[in-house]
Structure 1
Amino acid sequence: MNDEKKHTLSDEDIVSGIFQGETDALEKLYKEHFPMVTRLILNNGGDIDDAKDIFQEAVIILYDKISCGQFVLNSKLKTYIYSVSRNIWLKKLAKRGVYSNVDDYEEKLQVEDDIEIQRERDHQFIMMEHALEKLGEPCHTIIKDFYIHNLSMQEICEKFGYTNTDNAKTQKYKCLQRLKKLFFG
């Protein structure tokens, strides 16, 4: 695999690469997700060695599932690695007796999960705003009027001078298709 491809591997490429035994896929997985697991562990009573152990266990679990054909990517790989690492860490803490009530500790970690989810949503919201800006008129206004200002199709029809609501719906559909292309590339 060349250097350019290393930097552009999608989650699906990484999973496929692991399945095919490509070391580049494991390297990319490590580079992209080890820092996140390290933050999780360091922020929750562990050290760098704990982070390495937890990450390695999470990767082994992922590798085993992929190798057996049992892995289905129904979320981001980042989310999967984080969740598995988090669960392994909670079990280790319970074994160490650090937290006798794992439920209380899970609540604390849940807040961190929520923060991570919110960051991802904020990022997607910003990307959607950029896509909307690139959309141009009348699509930009039609999409905002319908989804943000809750205007009815009849109101949009009248505002833009369409002959009937079906024409307005058709235009909105075309605008959504353009927006999807801009947003998802």
Structure 2
Amino acid sequence: MKDNSKIIIECIRTGKNNEALKYLYKDPLRKIRKFILMNSGTLDDADDVFQDAIIVLFQYVKNGKYNEEYDLDGFLFRVAKNSWIDIARKKQKVIKASFIGFDISDETDHLNDLIKDEQLNTFHFLFNKLEDNCKKILSFVVFDKKSMKEIAELMGFKDEKVAKNQHYRCKKYFTKIVSDNKEALTFLKN
């Protein structure tokens, strides 16, 4: 955690809210505004979402739930981004789940990790919609690098031709699941 972040967290813990807010209204607000404006939002939307993110941060810190290993800016951005996605869905706006133009410095590597975690969670969510046999077959192919002959033996298929047909069917079905979920597809591509 950056020194500024430690000071801000300590200010929140000790009730020196104005000192904490002086920092928070500089850099994090600018980044959140930029994201929301690039994703179908207005300046008022951005300010409202930012206020909500600040409240969440204060609650986390005061309740002892804030992990000080998190980057403070990254934490606020993630909360704001998730909040904006929910709001935009409710308003039926089309948003880009991308981070084009968001400056990610070496100090915000944690934000990159959070984004990758969300992408992985999205992938797992879609993957779990598959039948168990398809999950096994695709896992054997993608993660275990098994041959069709090995898959046929593991799955109890007649021969590798059956394994190939099943693999093709499962791959096609998974592609349909992903393509039917446009937001997830966009998010996974970034």
Note closer, same or farther for the CA distance 1:116–1:67 as it changes in structure 2 (3 Å cut).
same
Q: Secondary structure at the match of 2:65?
A: coil
Matches within 5 A, 1:14-163: 14-22=8-16, 23-99=18-94, 105=95, 108-112=96-100, 116-117=103-104, 120-121=105-106
Q: Which has the higher helix share?
A: 1
Which runs of no fewer than 5 residues in structure 1 stay unpaired? 1-7, 100-104, 125-185
RMSD: 2.6
Return the TM-score normalized by structure 1: 0.52
Q: What is the distance in 2 between the residues matched to 1:88 and 1:44?
A: 13
Q: Identity over the aligned pairs, expressed in percent?
A: 27
Query: Whose relative contact order is higher, 1 or 2, with alpha carbons under 8 Å and at least 6 apart?
Result: 2
Note closer, same or farther for the CA distance 1:9–1:75 as it changes in structure 2 (3 Å cut).
closer
Q: What is the distance in 2 between the residues matched to 1:96 and 1:121?
A: 35
What residue number does 2:7 align with?
A: 13
* Displacement of 1:87: 0.4
Q: What is the distance in 1 between the residues matched to 2:61 and 2:108?
A: 29
Runs of 4 or more, structure 1, over 2 Å off, are: 108-113, 121-124
Question: For the Cα contact (< 8 Å) 2:74–2:108, is it kept in 1?
Answer: no
Which runs of no fewer than 5 residues in structure 2 stay unpaired? 110-190
CA shift digits 1:54-107 (9 cap, x unpaired): 0000000000111111111222111111111100000000011114xxxxx5xx
Q: What is the distance in 2 between the residues matched to 1:110 and 1:58?
A: 19
* Amino acid in structure 2 at the alignment position of 1:50: D
